[in-house]
Amino acid sequence: MAAPPLDERSLPDPLRAAEVGTFTHYSVVERLPDIVQRTLNENRFPPAVEERLRALGEGIPHVPIRHIEDRLAPDVLEWRRYVAEYEGQNWLEVPWFFAENYFYRRIMEAIGYFQQGPLQGVDPFEYQKRQGLETTRAEIGRLAADLAGWVAAGAWDRDAFTRLLGISLWGNQADLSLWPADAEAEASEAGAGSREDMIIVDDSEAVAEHIEARRGQAARIDVLGDNAGFELVTDLALVDYILSVGAASAVHLHLKAHPTFVSDAMIKDVHETVEFLLLEGDDAVRAFGERLRGHLADGRLVLHEDFFWNSPLALWALPRLLQDEVNPSHLVISKGDANYRRILGDRHWPFTTPFEDVASYFLPPLLALRTCKSEVVVGLRTGQAANLTQKDPDWLINGEWGLIQFKPRTGRLE
């Protein structure tokens, strides 16, 4: 049976930008308008589209939230329900997780992403995503060389797996909504898989033991994707290793249904990344791309898109069809800060709340790989947050500290 859902009446308050002096406040008031301007700078839109985007940016944070005006868009009815609870409130008053997802949906509305015309299906963040690959060629080459050795061994190796977990974790630093790809590189150390002393919760050994206990049993692993660019390369390296050494018979990668959070990955970004690898001059990088192309061709790497991952909903509101899809999984790997916030409902949990208690509503075994980029975290020891604040006052938001948190299966399949 599935675990009971959380009672939202007893949950902590959600993070809101009205909390002056927080990163949440800064993110809405400063970052969102900046992302609008960056999007304008990196695209050549018709004047009407530019006007709509400028109006969106200028209306943050005080213009009230309104309904999405996107005729015949496939998600417009869902967004009517999401907005109904907050219509008339401004960007400071609504929950932050709602504000951010709503913001990117408004960008899609402004450019006509779902409407017939020259901008239908055009990714306004394509430049940043491409730069996320172009500027990390050296890191990709080093990762591919290491991966080639681990795959060539032909057998599961716990040390190789835990190292790839670390690489995938630190790949999460390459977040283009925070650090543009043409700014000073944030991923320079991500390929090294080092910095173990910066992992504040590390359940990697428990995860390795969990996988080892199920190898050879037609195991399925699901990955909740995060950023395109270098982070997607690190995630695909982990997937490639898992499939190449038989740690799972299939990996299902869950992706966004439209561009969001600047660099969040869609199905087309996976295919573009594989093509990028295949066209590189480095033999190990091309071989990495060939293996991925093979995994896709033989159905062992399966790509999914769903509008839920673009929604402002917490993970405990996962629709029944998606629940049925992921419940049989032997392991669900959640990548990144936004997915972590979704797991926690982006609420003010006490830092010492056990991760497995908060995520107990989610039936499959769950692994969260996340670098800290927002003021929400659970699973810390008593006093650990105070010690971290003393070492680094910005530890919650600067992406320098990581989490590898694991929750075993809750309950049993019906």
What is the pTM for the complete model shown? Answer: 0.95
Identify the pLDDT of residue 411.
73
Identify the pLDDT of residue 188.
41
DSSP 3-state assignment of 264? Answer: strand
Map out the domains of the chain with their CATH numbers: 8-111 (1.20.930.60), 126-407 (3.40.50.10880)
CA distance 75 to 82: 11
State the number of CA atoms in the 13 A half-sphere of 129 facing the CB.
Answer: 24
Kindly state the tokens that stand for 192: 């090294």
For 126-246, where are the alpha helices, taking DSSP H only? Answer: 126-134, 137-152, 158-171, 204-212, 230-244
Identify the pLDDT of residue 10.
85
Identify the pLDDT of residue 183.
55
Identify the pLDDT of residue 283.
97
For 12-152, where are the alpha helices, taking DSSP H only? Answer: 23-26, 32-41, 47-58, 76-84, 96-111, 126-134, 137-152
Tell me which H or E stretch contains 403. strand 402-407
CA distance 292 to 305: 18
Compute how many other C-beta atoms are within 10 angstroms of the C-beta atom of residue 52. 17
Identify the pLDDT of residue 232.
97
Identify the pLDDT of residue 196.
83
User: Would you write out the chain's pLDDT as a tens digit for each of its 414 residues?
Assistant: 445 556 777 899 999 999 999 999 999 999 999 999 999 999 999 999 999 999 999 999 999 999 999 988 999 999 999 999 999 999 999 999 999 999 999 999 999 999 999 999 999 999 999 999 999 999 999 999 999 999 999 899 999 999 999 999 999 886 555 546 555 444 444 444 457 899 999 999 999 999 999 876 779 999 999 999 999 999 999 999 999 999 999 999 999 999 999 999 999 999 999 999 999 999 999 999 999 999 999 999 999 999 999 999 999 999 999 999 999 999 999 999 999 999 999 999 999 999 999 999 999 999 999 999 999 999 999 999 999 999 999 999 999 999 999 999 997 665
Distances (CA, A) of 188 to 138, 173, 174, 246: 9, 10, 9, 30
* Beta strand extents in 195-312 (DSSP E only): 199-202, 220-224, 250-256, 301-306
277 in Cβ contact with 200 (< 8 Å) = no
Tell me which H or E stretch contains 371. strand 366-371
